[in-house]
Structures are given as C-alpha cells and as structure tokens.
Structure 1
Amino acid sequence: MSRRLRVGVIGAGSIASGVHIPNYKRHEDRVELAAVADVNRAKAEACAARFGISGVYDSYEAMLREAQLDAVSICTPNKFHASAAIAALEAGCHVLCEKPPAMSYEEALRMEQTAQRCNRLLTYGFHYRYAEEVQVLRRYIEAGELGEVYMAKVTAVRRRGIPAWGVFTSKELQGGGALCDIGVHMLDTALYLMGYPEVDRVMASTYQKLGNRPGVGDWDWEQFSVEDLAVGMIVFKNGASLLLETAFAVNVGPDKTMQVSLAGDQGGADVFPLKLYQEKHGTLVDVQPVGLKAGKPRDAELAAFVDSCLGGPPPLSHAAEGTALQRIVEELYRSAELGEAIRLQG
C-alpha cells in the first residue's frame, strides 16, 4: 500500500484517547487517522478536536459507509465488540478490537469466521504478549529450557481496584467483571506461552462480596452487577493444568498483582519480572535476565497492527486464539453459575 493507512476509531472513551489514537498519531508517516465514531456525538467531537481528526460520526455504520477506511480500532464496551467488528470486516477493514473479544463464544466465532471470509486481519488487545519478558520467556520455552510445561498459575488481583470510570461494573455492557477485564490479560499470557493447548474441562467460582457495598474507592456500589472475585481451574487435554485468581477487590495483599507463573519438568518461571528456576549440575539455580527493555507493550501492539495492515508480519494475537479464550471465559462463568465442573465438547 503506497498511500497512508486510513484508520477509524469506534468508541471515543479513555482507551481510545489514551492509547489507540496517540499511538496512531505517532505513525503519521504511515497512518492517516481519518475518523472517530461514538454514539455520544459530543464525545466524538471533543475527541476529534483534541487530536485533529476530520471525520466525526455518531454511528460506526455511517463512518464505515463514508470514510473509506482501511483499518479500525474498536474501543467500545464489550457488548458492542462483535457487531462493530463484523461490520468493519465486511466493509473491508482490518480490525484491532479491545479485549475480551466479545460477550460470548458464539459472537467471537462469528467474528473469526467473518475475518476469514472477508480476508481481513482480526486481532485483539492482548498487549501483554508484546512485553519483553513474555517474548524472552517464549524463546526459552521454545528452546526447551522449561521442558514440558504442565502447570500454570495466573494472578490478576487488586486489593481495592474497582474501576470508577467507564462501564466496567455493568454486567449488561461488559458481560462480567474482574475475569473478563484484567483476568483475561494474564490468562491469555499464560495460554500464549503454553501454546494455547486444547481445554478438557474447567471449574470456577465467582463472588460478589465487596463491590456491592460502600468501601474504599469511589465506584458506584449501588450499580455494581459483576463479580469482584473469580477463582478457577483449567485442565487441558495434554494433562497440564492452570490455576486462576482474579479480583477487582479482595482482602489480600499486596495492593496489586499481575503475574503468570509456569512450571515444567526442566524448569519454571515467573514472568513479571522474569525469573527462571532450574536444577543445574546438582544444584538449584535462579536465573534473572538483565538488560530487558522497559518498553510499552501497548505501543508495540499498535505499531505491530499498523505493520500488519501494511503488509508486514501478522500480529502476535490471532482471531482463533481470541475465540478459544472467549470460550474458556464463558465456560468458567457457566461453571460458577452451575456450581460444577464443565467438560468442553468438540
């Protein structure tokens, strides 16, 4: 593509104005940020004025019809991911959709199938894949340094970190709470490092103990309709297992933990910060890489999306993996609702 990539943004909230748009602006030699759409036209106009965007729309349908776009970022509440992504793909656009993929496995599958049918890129905002620690550890794993990875532990926990902005506490608009907001980041990171093994069964419990009452923080506790804590276990068909703990609010310390730990028969690792644990020459050793770049994974993710749209390598996050993740999340919630383990079929 000789001309600049024409990009539109659907949703003018904080993730658009704080991450997607500033990153597109950094690539103005290759990107023309052409339009922004939001159902709240005043918000779209304010965003466009702030960043010098000429096209302003109060519906993404009109934007996709009129703005002649090559690519789109979807920064809406989760409820609207699928409809916006499918419309953009069918309009001939490549799509970067924020996480989680959708509200259901069926929606995510339709998004993936639409991308295949339209021959367009569909990638998701799993930016932790772009962290230097993750990429270094992936190379260690591919070289056999951990051997057979048979256990993972995922932690995405805030002692008190219920979002007071956006719609993160609305089940209707988001589909869930801590699990589908911060939990999916660490879950995807673990699955990515493990090679996205096929799931056999899941078991989970969810709790709403702190978010629906007044406490330390300024969220609207009377409108809190999601889980503040989710715990679960995933067993894979290759025999490996994964333990999950994710919370917006729970009475544990420290204040915030975002961590993935892996155990293999030749070594193990914690990812953030990266540290490896092995047995060498008759002794136990800890290996902590030095000199890792302190880059910004979100910036790397947006740059990779632009590269991919312009004919470069594919992004690290693929639509099929997003579909697989969405199914796991859905079955974890279903297990918690039913109070029993769920075995995945097919």
Structure 2
Amino acid sequence: MRMATYNIEWFANLFDRNDKLIVDDSWSGRHDVTKVQQIEAIAKVLTAIDADAILIVEAPNTGRTQNTVRALLRFTEAFNLRTSQAVMGFPNETHQELALLYDPSVMTLRHDPIGEPADENGSLDAPRFDTFFRIDLDVDATEDIVRFSKPPLELEIETNSGKTFRLIGTHLKSKSPHGATTRDEAIRLSIANRRKQLAQAVWLAQRVRSHLEKSEPVVLLGDLNDGPGLDEFEHLFGRSSVEILLKAGLYDPHAAQTHGPRPDVSLSTARFALPQEGRYLEALLDYIMVSKDLRDLQPRWRIWHPFKDAACWSNTELRDALLDASDHFPVTLDIDL
C-alpha cells in the first residue's frame, strides 16, 4: 500500500462556486501558472505517485454552495484517477480543507472523530478536534485556550487484508506573522503563533498516545509547518511540534534526521520564492509519521522533490509538473498492509 500527503497550493481557486473545474488560461494562485496548467500539473503528479490514499492538504472549499468531496470527485473523474472516492472531516473557515482521496478497491474507511466535545473553557484531556483545548505550556504559568483553525481529519481504515489502523491528517497553523506592520508586532505574532502551534502538537500527541495505549496502529500525516531554521523563535520554548510528536511514539525518518545530533538540513518538501532576495527558501514541512508497530514492517518513505529525487529530476515532464502544481512536493510511504 502507498499512502501520500500532498499540500496543493490554491487548489480551491481551480473550481467555480458550483465545484466545476475552471479549465482556462486565466491565472491560478501560482505565480506565472494558468489554471489549466496547474490542473494538468496536479493530475500528472497524482498519476505519477499512484498512491492508494492521498491526504490533500489545502483541499477545495466546503461552503454555502461548494463541497470539498464533490470537487475532488469531479477532479478524479476528469482524469480517470483510481483514487475515485473522497472523505473529509470537520469543515473549516479557511477555504483550505483536509480531505483524503482513496482507492475503494484497496480499503474501506470512515470518519471517526475521537474525544469528548469541550466548550470555550477548554479541556485538558484531548477533546474532540473541532472544540477547545486548555493547556499550560510551562513557560509563564499561564493557561492557553486553543482551537484548531483546521481540525485534523481522523479516520478508521481497514485494508482488504483485514488490517485496521488509525489515520490522522493534519495541517498545523503557520508561524508566519501575517498582518504585522512593525517588527515588535511581528515578534508578538510570531511568539503567539508558535505557542498555538506547540499547543496543537501537544493536543495531537495526547490523541496519539491514547491510540498507542490501546495498541492501535497510527499514521499521522500532513503539513506540520515546522522544521529546523524556519524562524528565530524555534528554540524559545525548548521544543518543536515535530519533536513533540516524535516523543509521543511516532517515527518519520526525515523528521528524525533533521532533529538528530547531526541535523540534515538538505531535506525539504517545500520551496518558496523570496523575490526580494532573488532566491528560494527550502523547508521540511510535510511528514508521514507512523507508530512503532508500523515501522517494524519496514516501510519506505520518499519525498518527490523535482531537484533532489533522481527519478523526478530525470523525468522532465514530471519535474515541470511538480513545480507548476504547488509550492509543496508529495511525500509517500510504501508499507505492506
């Protein structure tokens, strides 16, 4: 079985208010990429990775007239993808949903949110992801009330061989100080955003531990918006969200390599243009973390980076598609389930 996580930038912009693909030469949200170019690029990438299940981060919107699952199914039908079914969890207000495309001939699944709902006072005991979490991060004796802007997607999955596991798809809040007009304001926003991100990671870690205590295999995948060197505040709280999840009992080789005694800073899953500096920022943001029982099955991870993966680099059509489709690149996990 192959699982994947893929953050598709501005995917929602490719659909009209009735979830029909806008196949024309108008500009997409990608710089110098038209809608038809991005649509074709996404289809080429999804066809190339050929995954049985793909977490789409920043999936099309669900709203008054739009529906994420309907939009994704129309996309898969247009390009005859074998991941012909889609599922999502709690919708959010950001126009960036979390959804899973999957091949129904390989697995059956259901949206299965765990935890008791908590009101605005929050709960200390990993409440349901669409409610409120209360936590003291042990830095200032102050409790924080946290809510996910994008509630993680929780699925129970059963493979055709009868194996079951838990899948948690996530997109943690970015640490960028959007809206800041002064350096002091940017610092305040950056610290507040990192506090929220770490609290979300603790919330996720509590949920992971609850599954592991019941001997339930876990796959946590998605965009954690965290990796070494992303901002000057990463050491302020003494730990990163990635490290919190690793210590909860999960493993991803790329995360382990970048948070080990000799960090490998060359690993990256995203590439962002910095026009004023005339260069690109590379970052490791996307992960597929597994519990020990799944790691013991000797899975294989791959980052489909157009310049760092030899097969992607040598295939010009795929390389160009990866660059046109998104500012993130897919990560896949091959595992015998």
User: TM-score under structure 1 normalisation?
Assistant: 0.30
Structure label with greater radius of gyration: 1
User: TM-score under structure 2 normalisation?
Assistant: 0.30
Structure whose residues are more often helix by fraction: 1
